[in-house]
Structure 1
C-alpha cells in the first residue's frame, strides 16, 4: 500500500514545489517589479525660488554615466517648474547619490515593501536570475545657509545590474510628488506602456505603519 502511494506523493510534492516557485516569482514582482518605495526627510519643505545647480562628487566627475543621470533629472525637474542655473547662483544646491547592488529578495506578503519582506539569508537566483537593488537619493541644500531643506530616496529591485536602465524609474518615483508631503514613506506604482516600453506612474500612496 505504501509503495503504491509513493508516486502520488512525489507528484504532489512536485506540484507544491512549482507552486512555491511561482509564488516566489510573483512576490518578487509584487515587491519590486513595478513598485518603488520612497522615503522623504523634511516633507514639503521646499520654499522660495525654484532654481538649483547640481553639485558633484569627484567620482561622479569621472563617471561616464553620470551626465546621463543629470540630464534625466533636469528634464523631470523642469516639468515640475525647477530650473537648473548651470552653475550660476541658485536657491538650492542639488546633491545626487545612487547605488546598485545584489539584493536580498523576500518571498512573502503581497505588495510588501523591501524593508518588510521576509529576507533570504543571501541573494538568491530564481530560474537563473539574480536580483539587484537600485537606489537614488536627492538632497536639496539652501545655497546661502548650507542647510538641508529636502531629501527624498527611492528604492526598487529588478533583475538588471545596469543602473542606467533603473534610473528612469527611480527618477520618476522620487519625483512622483514633488515635494512629497507627510507622511515620510510612500509606495509608488508604475505601469509599463505596451507600445513604448516606458514605465509611467499610475498611483502614489502612503505606506501604512
Structure 2
C-alpha cells in the first residue's frame, strides 16, 4: 500500500512532522512509525481474558465500527483474548478513533540558473555537469526561499478495557501517527498493531513503535518493535533498537 503521493516533497515535510512527534506514512519510507502511550492497572491472567465490545450510541449500527472491531479482535487473539457474549465476558473493550487534517509548511531553497540553455545544471552540488556540479564545483547557493505547504493527516486510536462487573478501568492505550494518507481505514491496522504490541505495557509507558512495510507497501509480517521511549515506564517493555532508514 502506498501512503503519500510525492515522495520527494514529503522527505522535506517529514522533518517537520517528526519534530511534532509523528512519523509520515509515506511511500518513501520502509516502515510506519506510531506514538503509543498506555495507562495500566492490569492484573488479569490468560484464564480470564474474555471480552465483549462495548459501543457508544453512535457506534451501535456502524459498519466502520464493526470493521475496526474485527481488526482489534484478531490482534487481541494473539494475546490469548477470546471474544464471548457480553454476559459472560470478564472485560469490555471500547474503541474511539479520529482523523484530523492539517498542513505543514516547509521553507525550501530556490536556485537561480543564469544559463538555462545549458540544461539547468546550476546549483546542483557535485555530480551535475562534468561531475563537478555548478561551474567546476563553485555553487553560489540558493537565490532565495519559498514556503510550501503540504497536507498532513493525524490518525488516532484509543483502546480501553474495563472490568465488566465493576466498571473499573484496567487498561487504556492510545496510538497516533500522521502522514499524507487521508483514509483512516488504511492507517487503522498499524494503529491497532502498534497499540497492542507487547501487551500489557507498564503504567505510564510512552514509546514509539515501528512496523516494517514489505516491498509492495503493505504491512510486513516482521515483528513490530519499540523504536524508542519518551518516558520511563514503571515496568519497561522489551525494546529492540531499529536503525532509522
Please give the TM-score of this superposition, normalised by the length of structure 2. Answer: 0.62
Distance 2:213 2:10 in 1: 24
Higher helix share: 1
RMSD: 2.7
Query: Counterpart in 1 of 2:14?
Result: 25
Q: Higher Cα Rg: structure 1 or 2?
A: 2
Provide runs of 4+ in structure 1 moved above 6 Å: none
Deviation of the 1:24 alpha carbon: 2.9
Spell out, residue by residue over 1:148-201, the C-alpha distance to the aligned partner (whole angstroms, 9 max, x if none).
011000011121221111110000010111111255211101211114721455
Distance 1:40 1:125 in 2: 33
Aligned length: 171
- Give the one of 168, 174, 188 matched to 1:167: 188
Moved more, 197-206 or 73-82: 197-206
User: Structure 1 residues 32 and 46, CA, compared in 2 at 3 Å: closer, same or farther?
Assistant: farther
Deviation of the 1:20 alpha carbon: 9.9
Q: What SS does structure 2 have at the residue aligned with 1:132? A: strand
| Contact 2:153-2:179 within 8 A present in 1 as well | yes
- Give the one of 159, 176, 179 matched to 1:138: 159
Q: Which runs of 5+ in 1 are unaligned?
A: 1-18, 108-123
Q: Which runs of 5+ in 2 are unaligned?
A: 1-7, 25-31, 107-147, 233-245
User: Structure 1 residues 75 and 106, CA, compared in 2 at 3 Å: closer, same or farther?
Assistant: farther
| Contact 2:103-2:149 within 8 A present in 1 as well | no
Query: Counterpart in 2 of 1:36?
Result: 34
Please give the TM-score of this superposition, normalised by the length of structure 1. Answer: 0.72
Moved more, 58-67 or 21-30: 21-30
Distance 1:173 1:21 in 2: 23
Spell out, residue by residue over 1:77-118, the C-alpha distance to the aligned partner (whole angstroms, 9 max, x if none).
0111001103341111111111111146487xxxxxxxxxxx
